[in-house]
Amino acid sequence: MIGGGVMGEALLSRLLVQKIYSAEQVIVSDPQAQRRAVLAERYSIAVTAENQAAAQAPVLLLAIKPQVFEAVVANLQAPADQLVLSILAGLPLRRLEAAFPGQPVIRTMPNTPAIVGAGITAIAAGAEASAEHVALARQIFAAVGEVVEVPESLLDAVTGLSGSGPGYLALVTEAMIDGGVAVGLPRPIATQLALQTLRGTAELLQVQQLHPAQLKDQVTSPGGTTIAGIALLEQAGLRSALIEAVRAACRRSQELGQ
């Protein structure tokens, strides 16, 4: 693994816990000595400041910022049959495959709930990636949640929705908590109520396979409290604001790939 940041560590920890890889099979490269020390102590893995050392493994996971991609891969020499997995937002397969010519490459977009094993990752395979490579990628990312396969043309859209989505939902949740405080609830109680409402609603939609509109209709009684709140949200443009947020994040992902 090149890059030992938050998402890299999320994948690392779950891969070790689920015994997909053992600590002896993992090496992580990171430029920060303090970060290397933390990862080595936490997971008993090998760490290095040299990207080339990490690049010799059968599977290479790129967990760096897109902006430093060219500098990181400039002098890498990797085995010809190495599987390259990228979690870099916006970086297209064409640039990944140019940096690793002839190698199987899979571009992915996980999200931050991966940290607690509740993420979702979209994957798109490059031209040299076989069905076996895709199966291995699915196994690796299934360690941190669900996995879906999409054409690469949709990965920027995935970034705008699920990749950036936790940020949108965190903002909505914070606003709900503040709303609770505004009507007199103690902040810890407001927080507990908002978080469990968010979690329970997602689980209800998923388990009962409800369309969100169905659930909304179920909880809005005539002249009741919920419809009063929804009417105000519609007036404030919440629905269109979230749609535009996804579109803006998708555009930004496209820009990062240029």
Query: What's this model's pTM, rounded to 2 decimal places?
Result: 0.89
> What is the per-residue pLDDT for 170?
97
Question: If you average pLDDT over every residue of the chain, what do you get?
Answer: 93
Q: What is the pLDDT of residues 137-168, one digit of tens each?
A: 999 999 999 999 999 999 999 999 999 999 99
Span 202-231, average pLDDT: 96
> What is the per-residue pLDDT for 75?
81
123 φ/ψ angles, rounded to the nearest 5 degrees: -125, 145
> What is the per-residue pLDDT for 151?
95
In terms of pLDDT, which residue wins out, 76 or 224? 224
Instruction: Give me 149's structure tokens.
Output: 């396969």
What is the 8-class DSSP label of residue 24? G
Span 230-238, average pLDDT: 96
Give the separation between CA 212 and CA 42, rounded to whole angstroms: 41
**Which domains are present in the chain?**
6-155 (3.40.50.720), 165-256 (1.10.3730.10)
pLDDT above 90 for 256: no
Q: What is the pLDDT of residues 62-96, one digit of tens each?
A: 999 888 898 888 888 888 889 999 999 889 999 99
The helix (H) or strand (E) run that includes residue 108 is strand 105-109
Span 17-29, average pLDDT: 93
